Amino acid sequence: MTVHKLIVLRHGQSEGNDENKFCGWLDVPLTEKGKKDAEYAGELIKQNNLSPDILYTSKLIRSIETGFIILKVLNKPWIDHIKSWRLNERHYGKYQGRNRHDVFMELNQDKKLFQYIRRNYNGLPPLIDPESDTSIDEKYNDLLNKDILPRGESLHMVMDRLIPFFKYEILDNQMIQLNKTVLIVTHGSIVRSLIKYLNKVDDDDISKIEIPTGVPLVFELNDKGDLIKPYYYLDKEKALEGSEESRNAGLKKKL
């Protein structure tokens, strides 16, 4: 049986993460810690004898920069690199650029509502006016129809724009037909979406899954695209620590 390996990770710490902001489609670079996160991710991939044949990232610099650093560590900067807006983070609508704790306070410190908007499968932030959306810039000029770009998304909406691209372009084509090991460096909501799709997580349970920055996880699949074993992180301890930090983001003011 052929085993197809997919390596997925959320980018290293960005300036937005450090400032406790809803970043979404806003383009923010990595912090120095984030660059070290990326180097460590590359070392983990190398230590586990994984060798990606192709890299996919979003069109956002924190994803692209993390991918570049990983490929440098692996000494594979020459492999094909495909960037797609469909791998962008969830669009947080009017919350983009806002401090998470400030939004939490505006919601009258209603933890249930705050976490519903952040993590529920159907939780939706207030939509942004397209004319005031500064996150839609020249990097999307190649799209013939910009009306398909979001103004705010739930996880459900993220999956609607992600999964067809992932299934046909990455899973069926690159992984199964061409038998490539694929590396996807992306964002928390995209990683959650892939976990939901590949692990068949139900709508309620996906709200309990948090994604750490900078820790690669691996999916092993058969020729039908089914998991042959549970997905796993290459550093379980660091993943648990990062997941807990992500779970509580915004509930307390970051000093």
Q: How far apart are CA 229 and CA 232, in angstroms?
A: 9
Q: Give Cα separations from 82 to 8, 34, 88, 205 (angstroms).
A: 14, 21, 13, 31
153 is catalytic: no
255: which residues sit within 8 A by CB, 6+ positions away?
none
Q: Choose the catalytic residue: 15, 43, 81, 89.
A: 89
State yes or no: is 89 an active-site residue.
yes
Q: Residues 4, 11, 101, 187: which is the catalytic one?
A: 11
- Label the pairing between strands 232-233 and 54-57: unpaired
SS (H, E, C) the chain: CCCEEEEEEECCCEHHHHCCECCCCCCCCECHHHHHHHHHHHHHHHHCCCCCCEEEECCCHHHHHHHHHHHHHCCCCCCEEEECHHHCCCCCHHHCCCEHHHHHHHCCCCHHHHHHHHHCCCCCCCCCCHHHCCCCCHHHCCCCCHHHCCCCCCHHHHHHHHHHHHHHHHHHHHHHHCCCCEEEEECHHHHHHHHHHHHCCCCCHHHHCCCCECCCEEEEECCCCCECCCCEECCHHHHHHHHHHHHCCCCCCCC
Residues classed as catalytic: 11, 89
